Amino acid sequence: MSVKITNRQVGDVTVVDATGRITLGEGASVFRDMIRDLATKGNKKILINLSDVSYIDSSGIGEMVSSFTTVTNHGGQLKLLGLTKRVKDLLQITKLYTVFEVFEDESSAIRSFA
């Protein structure tokens, strides 16, 4: 299954719920398009919920990094929520834990944008 992405608003934070696999091809491009669209429409506080993402490859990681840069360049913040152990391991291996702010629960993540 490729990735399915929806978004919802919690206060002034846009929560992006991703489900499935973020991999080279459709999965990564769907993810990229969604984040770019949100950033260009002026959403400054974006929280990506990855708790239902079972698999991310290096292309998917690349899209997350690219999304982080896009949102930051638009004056916003992009943070991550609910990483599975496997995704956490990927962020450790790639040292991207030093780049992304990561949260275990949604309410803490929402409050952090204030």
Partner 1 sequence: MAERKILLDSTLDSVEVAETEVLGAAREIGFHEDDLHQLGMAVRESMVNAVVHGNRYNARKKVHLSVTKAADRLTIVIADEGDGFDPNAVPDPLAEGNLLRQSGRGLLLIRAFVDEFQVLPGQPRGTEVRMVKYLAKAS
| One of 95, 105, 107, 114 touching partner 1 (CB under 8 A) | 95
Radius of gyration of the chain (CA): 13
CB burial readout 10-32, b (16+ within 10 A) else e: eeebbbbbbbbbbbeeebbebbb
Largest CA-CA distance found in the chain, in angstroms, rounded: 35
**Between 84 and 106, CB nearer to partner 1:** 84
- Name the minimum Å distance from CB 103 to partner 1: 20
**Between 30 and 110, CB nearer to partner 1:** 30
CB-based burial label for 3 (10 Å; 0-12, 13-18, 19+): buried
And the tokens for 86? 């496997």
- Name the minimum Å distance from CB 4 to partner 1: 18
| One of 93, 104, 108, 111 touching partner 1 (CB under 8 A) | 93
- Which residues lie near partner 1 (CB under 8 A)? 23-25, 55, 57-59, 61-63, 65-66, 68-69, 86, 90, 93-96, 98-99
